[in-house]
Amino acid sequence: MTHPTWTDRLARLVDTALDRSVVLGYPATGHAVRRRLPTWPADPPRNALSGKHVLVTGASSGLGIRTAVDLAMLGAHVHLVVRDPMKAAPVREQLDEVAAGRHTTWRCDLSDQASVRAFAAAYRATGLPVDGLVHNAGIMPSTRQEDAQGRELTMSVHVLGPVALTEALLPALAAARDGARVVFVTSGGMYSQALDLDDLDFHPERYRGAVAYARSKRAQVELLPILARRWGRHRISVYAAHPGWAASPGVTSSLPGFARLTAPVLRRGAAGVDTTTWLIAATPAPPSGGLWHDRSERPTSYLSRTRASDAERQELWQWVARHAGIAD
């Protein structure tokens, strides 16, 4: 058994200090410092995903574009799963430069269960496996909106749609030669919120976009243990990854004050998607069922008031399964 050296122990102390401070660990500086620590996991080789098929939702803007490009640079055939294929033209142009012939665009509206089922059926009909699935699509509306089924839109796009899509793609995920990986792109904002099982649909009179966003991301993370057990039967590993403070059109439009204040230190380029792509490509697969940031598994709560019990997670799952049309 190899014991950690004093430099490894010091590196872990630095990493933990960055994580707990938030203002040092979440900006670009956190990623830059951690990459220089001796405990930083190795980068996947350039051909790590050669011959593999990886789906990225919300791939037409923001972090989704960079995620798709970086996965393609690792050799993957990238499937762009977007609501409006016309808006995916810019990312297709970028992919043509690094992965000509290794990308496909699909239409799927995660807020519409019929669209989710139709896309999943069309993909399954190709006979291709799904080696990786990145649930990157995200929204932060300022006012309460509903999806095609009458559910609140933020929970629909961040939780109901992704879970329903994964369930519908189980045969293709199970066909992955080396086991499939599913990554929910979450947010550090979820640390401020607890589950509110009495208001999962967000009452209109109490609606605040940023709070709804953070609570939906909290729901993603709290579902991880249940999803890891459920999907693990099919050799599927599941993770949540939060990018830190990353520049994106969503941050600029939904949180303009935060974006202006943090603009000089926001993560840009590969730093914002590093952990997401690493979780898809790393060998061996990281342990399933956890929350990751900067290639390390992180606590899901720092405050006692935000911790969920197993019973609360199970109640959340029952709500999700019911509204996503899943037979529990």
Contact 99, 309 (CB under 8 A): no
- Which tokens belong to 276? 């997401």
Phi-psi sector, 295: left (phi>0), alpha (psi -120 to 50), beta: left
Q: Which residues are catalytic?
A: 213
75 φ, ψ (degrees, to nearest 5) = 105, 0
Determine the Cα–Cα distance for residues 163 and 231; give it in Å rounded to an integer: 11
Determine the Cα–Cα distance for residues 11 and 22; give it in Å rounded to an integer: 17
Helix H segments across the chain? 6-21, 28-35, 62-73, 89-99, 113-126, 153-155, 161-168, 170-174, 209-232, 249-254, 256-262, 274-281, 310-323
Cβ count within 10 A of residue 32: 11
Torsion sign (Cα): 56, 255, 156, 319: positive
